Structure 1
Amino acid sequence: MKRLILPAVLLFGVAFAADEVKPAAEAPKEIVLFNGKSLDDWESVDVGGSGVVELEGGLMIINQGENVSGAIYKKAAALPMTNYEITLEAKRLQGVDFFVGLTFPVGDLKHCATLICGGWGGSVTGISSIDGFDASDNNTSSYQRYKDDEWYAFKLRVTPKNLSVWLGDKQIIDEDIEGKKIAVRPGPMESYLPLSLTTFNTTAAIRNIKLTPITEKK
């Protein structure tokens, strides 16, 4: 009986077909937290003297109050608690204190921190609190210049090991959090857990709030 000799090209094709072809992994889909059309997913919180949160021209407007003002995202429990990024754009319309107070979960709904942008007179930027130290007093603290009525883009990245923040294309926070105590500053901010946007004695406009799940980089 004659042996059947297959051409090398055919043999390569058979071997290739036998291998399992794995589909490319899909990129994580971003979740729009605020689409500029409605505040239905947000709940305004008044801690006493808080300003009104309203929709105006496709923007979330957090009006100046005598205390912390802001709103909580009502569907936070359905979002990732770690390995995620939040991006947003914000500008200060009037006031002299923080125009972005982004409170966010770090691992679970009860352990949260707040990214403060423009605090302590208008420039201090950092995360409150780490090991009991506020944004003005820990390693994440820096002074950034913010002009009124000018848009600024922020990106926050949360992983089990690290908190990172970018202002535009510039990374301004890169903080190792392993073994550290993460919590919001005691007081009014405790009423804005687990995911919220706030201001203090300041009016701000905010747009394009999105959350994207990520894969932690080793």
Structure 2
Amino acid sequence: MNNRINLIFTITALVFLTFLAGSCNNPQSKAENKSAKTPEELPQGWASLFDGETLDGWEITQFGPHGPVKVSEGNLVLGMGDGCTGVTWTGDFPHTNYEVSLEAKKVSGHDFFCGMTFPVDTTYCSLIVGGWGGPVVGLSSIDGVDASENETKILKKFEQDTWYHIRLKVSPGKIEAWIDDEKLVDFETSGHKLSIRPEVYLSRPFGICSWVTTAALRNIRLKTED
């Protein structure tokens, strides 16, 4: 009889301890799993230029009357200024055979939310997204003519607070650009003079800016080709 009582007591105690251990450990494990972030895997061949937490590798471009620049909720935010607000890459950057990919959105304002200045062989050019009052996409400048007037001009409606995937490819003799997988720029550079507007000289060799517009950027990536 005593042995049976002892056995029942032992089993009850084991069940209680198991329940207690589960009550203590499981919530912690769930909390840890919930808060743990799985690192995003980059597509093969791509390198990240923005870690989503700091401005490492970038400097705030000293345009003058520019707006505030900060990192918020994983985004690089270019605040509205009286002209350009942007960042410039401080590391090495290729001059041909490369691609840049990023996501950008217009938070407020009515002009370009992504002005990407980039190298092309021995010179520079800019891809403007949402310029001249909001709808213009194109390259500035071609033979001294801005994107609003040259042959690369495309009109596209951009919604506020909407992310757009922008991809730029520079290869010998050609500049290509896509927005959300729609190819909008396919320009043969041979026989043309490329240049940039004086306002973005400080964006060289590679920089991104907005014009009197608050913009957000994320997932800024670079791919180089042999």
Aligned residues: 184
The aligned counterpart of 1:6 is none
Counterpart contact for 1:87–1:211, Cα < 8 Å: yes
CA-CA distance at 1:52 after TM superposition: 1.4
**Kindly, what percent of the aligned residue pairs are identical?**
39
Q: Distance in 2 between matches of 1:118 and 1:84?
A: 23
C-alpha displacement of 1:125: 0.6
Deviation at residue 102 of structure 1 after TM alignment: 0.5
Deviation at 1:191, TM superposition (A): 1.7
Q: Secondary structure at the match of 2:175?
A: strand
Q: How does 1:95-174 map to 2 (within 5 A)?
A: 95-108=109-122, 111-174=123-186
Q: Aligned match of 1:74 in 90, 94, 98?
A: 90
Counterpart of 2:201? 190
1:92-145 Cα distance to aligned partner (Å, 9 max, x none) = 00000000001101114xx11110000000110101011111111111111111
In 1, Cα distance between equivalents of 2:161 and 2:217: 11
CA distance in 1, matches of 2:99, 2:195: 19
Q: Does 1:89 align with 2:103?
A: yes
Q: Does 1:214 align with 2:214?
A: no
Does the aligned pair in 2 maintain the 1:156–1:166 contact within 8 Å? yes
Contiguous gaps of at least 5 residues in structure 1 = 1-26
Cα deviation code 1:152-195 (max 9, x no counterpart): 0011010121000001111011000012111111x221121110
Q: Please, what is the CA RMSD of the aligned residues?
A: 1.3
Offset of 1:214 from its aligned partner?
2.9
Which 5+ residue runs of structure 2 have no aligned equivalent? 1-42
Distance 2:172 2:68 in 1: 34
Bigger share in helix: 2
Cα distance in 2 for partners of 1:178, 1:37 equals 40
Per the normalisation by structure 2, the TM-score is 0.79
